[in-house]
Chains A and B, each alone.
Chain A
């Protein structure tokens, strides 16, 4: 667990509902190692497997499982809002807006110039507008999640899906399939409905400038294109959008230690 080099290394672990991500940085903030694994049904067991593989001196946890991690490993925590903000801002220091769509929730964050959180919006308590929604819809339509975005992009038009509730949308999709509608067009319609919701959240926190899009859903090309088109704003994707939260937490772990040595 401890790094054997003389360089101090800081880890950030992002315990999401679907995936656990771990990023290790050095004192300069450069990424040294990354790991990820499906959360599974025992998140703490998965987390400790990842920790065993990585070499670091300090760790900070984020994501919905952070409190459990804090109890099991006695580590400091940070919310996924601050962690994503920090990860995104470090890669794109001129960005003032972050959109994160993860497996279980989505959020829009406005930043101050120094990367601090100015304001944020989060989706409601259900799966609507999240990665989970897309995953269920991909399965209903018989697409691979990996290709879902590419397939949707290939459609010539959107088929309007009026329901954002996962359960209702699923039955809407089923009846569209039964009517013989084009699967790709249905797929695109579903993407559009998620984007409509995300755009609403973004508009509540900021009105212009580039948007950094983080979270696993940012890997979906259709989402990125629809978002850019709908808001007419530049969309920037981190080199590995899914790691933004863990990366931010690692940077914050380093920062926390720096402050601790400064003040004690």
Chain B
């Protein structure tokens, strides 16, 4: 951490700092063995951090992303994706064809569909799987071989279906149910789930990029040419209601839809310290939920454990509120 803070200001979000920790500590095998590291200009923190990362590695490829949703920005994203496609083709010596792109779209859609199946099972009471385990599956989504991931998640789902039939849950029936919404929780971040589920509630969904926000939309498989398929990929990206977009009203609706669908009694808004986009949105989120009489707790934290005691008290008090 001290080494990371020699490179990045202390008030950088923990997600960014942690990715630098992976690099500096050489603890991430993917980072170390990759031929190309792709960074996207998501928020100001990441954008500037890549300038620093660029000095540490010689294979960083930075992709620009739009922050508004218009025809012009769609064209910009398409151009970025085309440029990226060309870069990958050059690196690998493989040309993207109609067949290969179609197969790839199907492969990733299958992965998303498996996660949809897992999510739907979490609607049951008693919840057949802990939020922590389900979060882990959503995190592994980003790392594992796609076909193997789909297969493993489907296997988990088969098991969960049996559990639901037998009414055995990870927690007893009637355990207070909570939806988490906000910043992505990437490996090794299990803090909020761990604290919440040891305080007597179960997390039944994540409105997050590591979770439903990121996986809920499939890429349309109607394209017949590479160009049409690239359009479909762009379209899918434009459906994501991430806080880096402005304005972003769909996210408010989606949180409420999820709270209803998963039968959550309350929502914890998870903000990483120094993450402007999500911390800013947490206030309208809380207001929208309050108008619907859905209790909301806004937490702002990082990966460290110094605030664990205080966070636990706040989460416990929130659970008492839901009982």
Contacts and interface: CB of A to CB of B under 8 A. Distances in A.
B307 interface: yes
A34 to B, nearest CB: 24
A117 B310 contact: no
Contacts of A105: 310
A79 B306 CA distance: 19
B313 interface: yes
Contacts of A120: 314, 317
A79 B320 contact: yes
Interface string B279-323: 000000000001000010000000000110110011011001100
Contacts of A81: 313-314, 317, 320
A106 to B, nearest CB: 12
A234 B316 CA distance: 30
A256 to B, nearest CB: 12
A238 to B, nearest CB: 20
A250 B263 CA distance: 33
A122 B313 contact: yes
Contacts of B314: 81, 120, 122
Nearest to B313: A79
Contacts of A125: 306-307, 310
Interface in A75-91: 78-82
A117 B290 CA distance: 14
Interface in A115-146: 116-120, 122, 125
B222 to A, nearest CB: 47
A79 B310 contact: no
B320 A78 contact: yes
- For chain B, what secondary structure do more than half of its interface residues adopt (helix, strand, loop), or is it mixed? helix
Interface in A7-24: none
A117 B317 contact: yes
A254 B65 CA distance: 58
Contact of B320 (A64, A82, A119): A82
Interface string B116-153: 00000000000000000000000000000000000000
A82 B314 CA distance: 11
Interface residues of A, number: 14
B313 A80 contact: yes
B285 to A, nearest CB: 14
Contacts of B306: 125
A248 B242 CA distance: 42
A117 B313 contact: no
Nearest to A112: B321
A64 B309 contact: yes
B295 A79 contact: no
A79 B316 contact: yes
A129 to B, nearest CB: 14
Contacts of A122: 310, 313-314
Given A119-B295, A125-B307, A64 B313 contact: yes
B195 to A, nearest CB: 12
A120 B298 CA distance: 10
Contacts of B321: 116-118
Contacts of B295: 119
Contacts of B316: 79
A116 B323 CA distance: 10
Nearest to B304: A125
A31 to B, nearest CB: 23
Contacts of A82: 317, 320
Interface centre among B306, B307, B314, B317 (most CB of A within 10 A): B317
A82 B295 CA distance: 15
Nearest to A80: B313
Interface in B71-115: none
A224 to B, nearest CB: 25
Contacts of A116: 321
A86 to B, nearest CB: 10
A78 B244 CA distance: 38
A119 B266 CA distance: 12
Interface of B: 290, 295, 306-307, 309-310, 313-314, 316-317, 320-321
13 contacts: A78-B320, A79-B316, A79-B320, A81-B314, A81-B317, A82-B320, A116-B321, A117-B320, A118-B321, A120-B314, A122-B313, A125-B307, A125-B310
Given A78-B320, A122-B310, A122-B314, 4 more contacts: A81-B313, A119-B290, A119-B295, A120-B314
